Amino acid sequence: MDQACVLLVDDEEDLRQSLKQGLELTGQDVIETADSAYALEQITRQFYGVLVTDIRMPGQDGFAVMRKAFEIDPALPVVLITGHGDVPLAVEAMRAGAYDFLEKPFSVASLASVIERALEKRRLVLENRKLREELADRTGLEGRLVGRTPAMEQLRRIVTALASTDADVLILGETGSGKEVVARALHDEGPRRDKPFVALNCGALPAEIIESELFGHEKGAFTGASGQRIGKLEHAHGGTVFLDEIESMPLELQVKLLRVIEMRMIERLGSNKQIDLDVRFIAATKEDLEQAGKEGRFRLDLFYRLNVITVEIPPLRERLEDIPLLFQHLAVEARARYRREIPDISNAYLADLMTRSWPGNVRELRNVADRFVLGLETTPQEDPDAGSSLFQQVAAYERTLIDAELKRNNGSIKQTYETLGLSRKALYEKMRKYGLGKEII
């Protein structure tokens, strides 16, 4: 982001020069002018600055200048100054959208303090706007699988390569990591996109009805079967079946599912007629199915059949750099659901989000975004000395955390990645990125 700028508009030459000199001593860049039209020409939606204008001026007064500035960008902070201030005028100025109001005479220090706060607000507006514009530009997979980290770029490449095929896929990922999002992306980006996507949570269906739900039944197949029922697998013909939490499927049903996957045929309960099935199977699990198979909790033959193509979703704690963009994306979704405006997202708040372990992954972050949009989140105060960009501050904060943990553990990689909740690979990547522990790596 460019250097911050103060646009100072006043018809009193001496006052302008005095304020300019005083503000420059505080480190501000100042453009001073008596020509309000010239000042307005400097303002764009990308303008990183604050407008300071006198109210009482010949020709176009400060209120008119503020209104025209708001036509360019309603989020621009405007500070109004006057020598004729009173309470009604101050109230009118604030209701009209002024960021603040100062009555002459005032000290340069008090004006500089107001400007610093206004510039911080402007910086947040511009950075949030940039994130939203970036999100708006993302289409297809980038709009679904949000993130800039190498892990997410790799995930998008894998999904792109698999989407156009009919290959069955096993998705591995922790709770809340986005397994169904990946499954839907595989479906929607492929040739089956116009056919049904049938999602089944194997852990949520009662064991006594899951077979009927999957395969359907004929009238009289069992007590209570008063009519024919088309099962989920048959309903998905031509499309995709997503079997979530497949580790929860009863063992006796796993045998039948294995046969369906291999033969691509089903029989409704109570029928001997075989029905051809054209579906793509995508299964998802949070468990190590091979280990579950060795412990007798999952059929190894089904695991080997599903494990031909595996897609792993990285947990959120291993891609913390994605949180600013991802949180903004989730906040935009929450805004649409709740019809609320998104509050300013401060750097301190994003940095705080990046220090959390996120056992619930993206689902947990989505809940936080919902509470944030609803105004129910307590956010940390912004560091007034922070002057670098949002991503620079987030990166600096992450680097500080990793460096401190390495020192605390006397350079022990194992202790550090275990304490931070990272994989060994993720820690090494971050250490290389931040130039940490070069003598170790």
- Domain of 108, CATH number, reads 3.40.50.2300
Distance CA 426, CA 315 (A): 11
The pLDDT value given to residue 384: 46
User: Residues 211, 257: one domain?
Assistant: yes
Residue 322 domain-assigned (yes or no): yes
Q: What is the 3-state secondary structure (H, E, C) of 243-279?
A: EECHHHCCHHHHHHHHHHHHHCEECCECCCCCEECCC
Same domain? For 77 and 65 the reply is yes
**pLDDT tens-digit map of 211-265:** 888 888 888 878 777 888 888 999 999 999 999 999 999 888 899 999 999 999 9
Together in a domain, 291 and 404:
no
Domains contained in the chain, number: 3
Residues 177 and 275 in one domain: yes
Return the pLDDT at 351.
83
Residue 297 falls inside a structural domain: yes
Q: In what order do the strands lie in the sheet with 29-33?
A: 29-33, 5-9, 49-54, 78-82, 100-103
Question: Which of 121, 136, 151 is the last residue before a domain boundary?
Answer: 136
Report residue 200: phi and psi, to 5°. -125, 125
Q: How confident is the model at residue 410 (pLDDT cuts 50, 70, 90)?
A: confident
**Same domain (yes/no): 338, 269:** no
Whether residue 217 is found in the same domain as residue 99:
no
Whole-structure pTM over 0.85, yes or no? no
Q: Is residue 48 part of a domain?
A: yes
Q: What range does the domain containing 253 cover?
A: 143-312
Q: CATH no. for residue 196?
A: 3.40.50.300
Query: Does residue 440 lie within any of the structural domains?
Result: no
CA distance 45 to 7: 15
Average pLDDT over residues 133-144: 70
Residues 123 and 164 in one domain: no
Answer for the pair 38, 123: CB distance below 8 angstroms, yes or no: no
Task: Based on the fold, state whether residues 248 and 291 are members of the same structural domain.
Answer: yes
The tens digit of pLDDT for each residue in 154-193 reads 999 999 999 999 999 999 999 999 999 999 999 999 999 9
The last residue of one of the domains, among 292, 312, 332, is 312
DSSP strand E in 86-220: where? 100-103, 169-172, 197-201, 216-217
Would you say 76 and 51 are in contact if contact means Cβ atoms under 8 Å apart?
A: yes
Same domain, 124 and 170: no
156 & 305 share domain? yes
Please tell me whether residues 165 and 26 are part of one structural domain.
Answer: no
Task: Specify whether the CB–CB gap between 72 and 37 falls below 8 A.
Answer: no
Closest CA to 349 of 384, 388, 320, 377: 377
CB of 116 within 8 A of CB of 294? no
Domain-located, residue 97: yes
Q: What is the pLDDT of residues 353-401, one digit of tens each?
A: 988 889 999 999 999 999 999 999 876 655 544 445 555 666 777 777 7
Give domain status of residue 77, yes or no.
yes
Tell me: pLDDT of 408 over 90: no
In the chain, % of residues over pLDDT 70:
91
Q: Whose CA is closest to 422, among 350, 318, 293? A: 318
Last residue of a domain, one of 136, 167, 196: 136
Burial 270-302 (b: 16+ CB within 10 A, else e): beeeebebebbbbbbbbeebeebbeeeebbeeb
In this structure, the answer to whether residues 278 and 360 fall within a common structural domain is: no
- Mean pLDDT in the chain? 86
439 domain residue, yes or no: no
Query: Which tokens belong to 9?
Result: 């508009």
